[in-house]
Amino acid sequence: MSSRVSKKKRILQNLVMIAFVIPFIFPLISVIARSAQGEGFILNYKAVFLKSPFFQFAANSLYIASFTVLITFIATMLSAYAFSKINFKGRSVLFILLLGGLVLPGIALVVPLFILVAKLGAFNTYWAVIIPLAAGAIPFNLLLAKNYMDSIQNEIIEAAEIDGCNKFQVFLRIILPLSKPISSVIVIWTFLASWNEFFLPVLFIQDPTKQTVSQVPQYFSGIYISDYPKIFAALIMTSIPTIILYLVFQKNFERGLSAGAVK
């Protein structure tokens, strides 16, 4: 088709596309440029590394994200396997019940969460962030994983069962290895969502040493009240891990986003 497009039209289309993409890059470039103003690029980033608890915050976020991913992954894969391959009573009702969590806005649960965390004395603990994050991530991931496992042939499972595998061994030896593509999607998006989470840490983590990366800007606004170049340097440092992750696992990110269209 394209071979018949004239050269003039081709150039024009390329120019239009470049014009289209410029507004998407422009803010990124502006932010990088800003981070080099003031005391200059090197001193700004040095201040982020040495004068701020940036690494502490990043380590805290890494901790939260790792446990959220771990819990979400185990719960999601086990339940997706049961919903896809085990014929148990109440299966379809429970599946719909779990998917119901998809529609509800997390902030609508702020009052019960607040009271639950207060009653359990869990303020300033990471579990107050990890558990709600995992509960919020499960419904969507379950939908993805179940749809994927539906395409795994039952004959493979039956053969393994004849060879003496129980349901859990089937899960470990057959289902998990065959589900690698969807597993990486789940792990990557859950990690990204937990790393970027803003609301739950604001609610439950007040201890200044326990803050997460999404709190970095707030932290700098207090100290360097007008020193925006350093704030921007910190913002860039916050985003770099996710950008690297994206560049390495580009395909998985795109698949995760488009998986929403499956249903």
Say what angle helices 41-50 and 228-248 make with each other, to 10 degrees.
Answer: 80
Identify which of residues 41 and 228 has a Cβ nearer to another protein in the complex.
228
Cα separation values, 182 from 37, 80, 160, 173, 179, Å? 43, 11, 22, 16, 6
Cβ of residue 78: shortest distance to another protein, in angstroms? 5
Cα 177 off chain centre by = 22
- Binding-site member from 59, 159, 172, 257 for another protein (CB under 8 A): 257
Report how far apart, in Å, the C-alpha atoms of 99 and of each of 16, 77, 89, 93, 102 are: 41, 15, 17, 10, 6
SS3 content of the chain, % helix, strand, coil (to 5): 80, 0, 20
* Closest distance of CB 42 from another protein, Å: 21
By CB under 8 A, the residues from 198 to 217 that bind another protein are 198-199, 203, 213-214, 217
Query: Minimum CB separation from another protein for residue 57, in Å?
Result: 12
Residue 89 or 180: the one with the smaller Cβ distance to another protein is 89
By CB under 8 A, name the one of 52, 68, 238, 252 that touches another protein: 238
**Binding flag, residue 260, another protein (CB under 8 A):** yes
**Does residue 44 interact with another protein by CB under 8 A?**
no
Q: How far is the CB of 64 from another protein (least distance, A)?
A: 13
Q: Alpha-carbon distance 35 to 234, whole Å?
A: 8
Q: Is residue 174 near another protein by the rule CB under 8 A? A: no
Which spans in 100-166 are helix H?
110-119, 127-150, 154-162
Sites for another protein among residues 92-121 (CB under 8 A) = 94, 97-98, 100-101, 103-116, 118
Interface positions, 141-170, toward another protein (CB under 8 A): 142, 167
Which residue blocks in 35-109 are alpha helix, DSSP H?
41-50, 54-85, 91-99
Shortest separation between residue 180's beta carbon and another protein, angstroms: 20
Q: Which is nearer to another protein, 124 or 258 (CB)?
A: 258
Is residue 181 part of the contact set for another protein (CB under 8 A)? no
Confirm or reject binding of residue 64 to another protein (CB under 8 A): no
Token digits of residue 133: 């994050």
Main-chain dihedrals φ then ψ at residue 36, nearest 5 degrees: -105, 0
| CA dihedral over 16, 17, 20, 26, signed as positive or negative | negative
Q: Is 66 an interacting residue with respect to another protein (CB under 8 A)?
A: no
The answer for 29, left when phi > 0, alpha when psi is -120 to 50, beta otherwise, is alpha
Q: Is 243 in the site for another protein (CB under 8 A)?
A: yes
Smallest distance from another protein to CB 221, Å: 8
